[in-house]
Structure formats: structure tokens, C-alpha cells
Amino acid sequence: MFRGFSHFEHSTMDGRVNRMKSNISRKKVIAAGTVLFREGDPGGSGFFLESGQVEIWVNRADKRVILGMLTDGEFVGELSAFDLAPRSASATAVKDCVVVEFNHEQLNNRIQAMDPVMSHLIGSLVERIRATNVQINDGFESDGFLVAKAASRRALDQTCLNELTLEADLLQAVNNDEFQLHFQPIIDINQMKLAGFEALIRWHHPKRGLVRPDQFIPFAEDNNLITNITRWCVDEICQQAPEFQLAALHNPEKVQPLFLTVNLSGRDVGCAEFGEWIEGAILNSHCPPEMLKLEVTESSLMENMDTAKQMLSRLRDMGVGVAIDDFGTGHSNLAYLCELPITTLKIDRSLVTGKPESNRNLDANKPILKLVMGLANDLGVTVVAEGVEDTCDLSMLQVLGCDFAQGYLFSKPLPAAEALELVRSWDWRDFQTENEMAQSA
């Protein structure tokens, strides 16, 4: 909160003071009568007034004009610390003061770590205050100090525009029918039968074109939009489930009773009401509860253990499956596995294909995979391996006793119509022949 006409540089203390004090080491004792800085001096630093009293003033028409008096818990000179502009007023200690000095780099590091929109907002406020200073100075027949917008701020303008536009577009995407589900098959690798699909969202933006999930899902999670998207996914799966059931009836010898999985975010798992909504969506559709499987990550479970346990247990009682996604990448206590109604562990693709920079492959990860298989067997749950891309990986997983696999060896994620056709025509022998021909070529 800036006093008066916002001409002088200070703001009242808020909840960030203790944090700033702990990170700043240059504490000074300023004697009464000392000038901290004068109008027109170079900027670049500011002061937190721990105790004492500081007078903010300017010289106008050969007169000393007092703009305000600052005291314990207030900032002095922070605008110039932010934008490096010359001082727009002078500051003098009226009483003995204890101040903690901070510089532009310390302040800028904190601002850069903020959300881009908030960072941009702070910059806009500073510019507006500076513009107000110019108008007041003009009233005193002075040129004042006009601050030009830095190139980095101009670049931030576009970043903020992109983010705010993306948020508005996401809010409209559901109503405008811009989302679409693609389905990646999950195979029972012991019988080589089609067992289910993971539903993956795609966004077809009218102007941006196809927007990848990694470009909007994290943003949606950070801006409280993800639950709306998850609800759309669950609704869509419940509506399409009967079509997958019907398609499976055309190929009963090679297709098991299908399940469809949907990913829940940490925000979804942490909301008890969301579980009630899923229950209602199932009851109000023709989707058998046992056909739906919810995928949650280890990290989201650990952050919301009590709520997740209650929510998932209730849905499990209905027959809904629960899978731990990206299993093996977290650093959590495995004791939580015994507390939750888990039906499936999904092995992260990095344990199957290995990370390129580590030169590890499935064979190198074999000891870890054996541990996961043993754990799953003790818990009485199934295992799905993600990222299976060649028959060598498939063979190794079969030897280790893995239950299911998904990956580009079988198929990329498919639009609903193509996924339904895959159900009707699935035959591993056809895929095996195609793969052998591709490898020999």
C-alpha cells in the first residue's frame, strides 16, 4: 500500500517480511540526521526499516516538501531496487534507525521465481507509480524521472498475454467441444489379448491447432482448471464405454472384458467432493463401474493421503479399479501401498526403455523390475509396463511375470473410432507379422 500520491518509495510490511529478513544479511545502524539517499541518486537498493523513523522529502521551488514519514516494518527505496531507476525522492533518518539493506539482484531473483502474471503485475504497478510521479513532478514544474519499459518487460508482456489467453481458451474448450480422447491399448501379455485402453486427452484448438497435453495440463493444474478437464474426461469415458463393450463382443476370443483408465491430478485426488461426483457420473451412465480404472501418481497420493484413501476406497467398493501411475519414480514410503485400495501398479517407461542419457535399458533395470513384480504379487495386484517399444522388451517382461503392457509396439494412442475398430479386429499374430517384417526391412 503506497501512501499519499504514491510519489515516495515505500510500502507497508506484509507476510513476506520475515522471509526477506532471513535472506538478507546487511544490517546497518543509521544515526539520526543521516541521509540514506538523495533525489536523483542511482537506484539499485532498498531498505527494510527494522526500527526508527525516516522522512521522505523532495526539494521543489526552493522548498523542502515532506511527502511522508516511515517507521518500523516499512520499506524505503524499494521501487528503485526493483527497476534501477534514479531515486525519485530523498530519505533522511529522523531518529536512530536499524535497517536491513537489500539489492536489485536479491529482489529480482524473488520476482523471477513468481508466476509470470504476478511478476508482470508488479512491473505494471511500478510503471504506473512512476508515471504518477512524473505528473506530480510536472505540477512542481520539474521534469521528474520517466522510466522506459525494459526489453525484458516487453518480452514478459507476450508471456502474460499467452498465459491469460490460454486460460480463457481452456475455459471455453469444453463448451466448444475442442477436447478429444485418444485411446492407447493395454495388452494382456500372457495371452496376448487386448485388455483395455488408457484414455489420453487431446486439444484441437481452432487457431493453435493440436495442443500437446504437456503444453496445457501443467498450466491447468497450476490454475485450478484441471478438475473441469478431468470431469470432461470421466464423462466422455462413461458415455463411450458401452461402445467399447459392444465392439469387444465382435472379437471375444482375442479381447478380454475391457477396462478404460483415466488420469486424476493431485487436485482431483485432494478433493473429497470429486470422488462423489465420479460416483454420480458412473451411476448416471451405462458404464459398468468395473470397467473404469483411475490412475493416480505416487506424489499426488502422498500429498493427499487421508482424502485419497477415503475417496478411492469408496469408489473401489463400487468396483472401480485404482492404478498407481509412474510407479518406481517416486521417493515415498511404500507403506502407503497397504493402506490404499490399489488394484494395479503401472511401471514407468523409464524402467522399461531406460533414459537415453543414462544408457540403461530393460535388462539393466531387471533387478528393479523383479522387486516390483514381487511386491505386486505379495499385494495381490496386477502390473502394467508402459513404454514397450520392441519385442525384446516384451519378451523380457513376459519372463519376469508382468501382466500387462502398453506402448508403440502395439499402437500409438488412437481416436475413438480407430480404437473401436482395433477392438473388433485385434489379433496379435497380425501385429507380430508386421513387426517382424518391419525389423527385417
pLDDT of residue 305: 86
CA of residue 113 relative to chain centroid, distance = 14
Under the banding of pLDDT at 50, 70 and 90, the label for residue 156 is very low
Dump the DSSP string for 101-116. Answer: EEEHHHHHHHHHTS-H
22 pLDDT higher than 50: no
For the four alpha carbons of 165, 170, 173 and 178, in that order, the dihedral sign comes to positive
Topology adopted by domain 177-440: TIM Barrel (3.20.20)
Distance between CA atoms of 112 and 155, rounded to whole angstroms?
13
SS3 383: strand
Over residues 366-387, the pLDDT tens digits come to 888 888 899 899 889 999 999 9
Measured CA to CA, the distance from residue 388 to residue 228 in angstroms comes to 31
With a cut of 60, say whether residue 255 has pLDDT above it: yes
3-state secondary structure of 379: helix
- Per-position b or e across 362-381, b if 16+ CB within 10 A of its CB: beebeeebeebbeebeeeeb
Range with the poorest average pLDDT among 19-28, 263-272, 399-408: 19-28
Alpha carbon of residue 111 to chain centroid = 19
Question: For residue 9, what pLDDT is reported?
Answer: 41
Counting every residue written for the chain, the total comes to 441
Q: What is the percentage of the chain residues whose pLDDT exceeds 70?
A: 75
| Residue 118: pLDDT over 70 | no
- Looking up cell 539393466 gives 364
pLDDT beyond 80 at 176: yes
- The yes-or-no verdict on residue 401 having pLDDT over 70 is yes
DSSP 19-37: HHHHH--EEEEE-TT-EEE
Burial of 112 (0-12, 13-18, 19+ CB in 10 A): exposed
232-248 average pLDDT score: 95
Where do we find the cell 518509495?
Answer: 9
Torsional class of 422: left (φ above 0), alpha (ψ -120 to 50), beta (otherwise): alpha
CA neighbours closer than 13 Å in the CB half-sphere of residue 167: 12
- CATH homologous superfamily for the domain 17-139: Jelly Rolls (2.60.120.10)
Going from the C-alpha of 108 to that of each of 44, 79, 113, 424, the distances in angstroms are: 11, 12, 9, 59
pLDDT higher at 243 or 72: 243
What are the tens digits of pLDDT across the range 43-75? 888 888 888 999 999 888 788 888 889 988 888
pLDDT range class, residue 271, cuts 50, 70, 90: confident
Span 208-228, pLDDT tens digits = 888 888 888 888 887 778 888
Q: How far apart are CA 187 and CA 423, in angstroms?
A: 11
- For 334-357, write each residue's pLDDT tens digit: 777 788 899 999 988 888 865 444
CA separation, residue 269 to residues 75, 223, 276, 298, 325 (Å): 41, 16, 12, 11, 13
**Pairing state between β 74-76 and 35-37:** unpaired
What confidence score (pLDDT) does residue 304 get?
A: 82
In the block, cell 501418481 appears at 297
Nearest to 10 by CA among 64, 105, 82: 82
Q: Identify residue 53 by its one-letter amino acid code.
A: Q
Write out the residue limits of the CATH 2.60.120.10 domain(s) in the chain: 17-139
Are 47 and 101 spatial neighbours (Cβ–Cβ below 8 Å)? yes
pLDDT at 146 over 80: no
Which pLDDT does position 222 carry in this prediction?
Answer: 78
Separation CA 12–CA 38 (nearest Å): 21
Q: What was the pLDDT predicted at 340?
A: 86
Mean pLDDT for 405-428 is 95
Question: Given a cut of 70, is residue 110 above it in pLDDT?
Answer: no
Domain with CATH 3.20.20.450 in the chain: 177-440
Q: Whole-number mean pLDDT of the chain?
A: 81
Q: Residue 144 pLDDT more than 50?
A: no
* Distance (Å, whole) CA 70 – CA 430: 80
pLDDT at 218: 85
How large is the average pLDDT for residues 215-243?
89
Residue 116 banded pLDDT, cuts 50, 70, 90: low
Largest CA distance in the chain: 98
What CA–CA distances, in Å, run from 166 to 120, 147, 179, 230? 16, 30, 14, 17
Most confident of the following: 80-84, 85-89, 149-153:
85-89
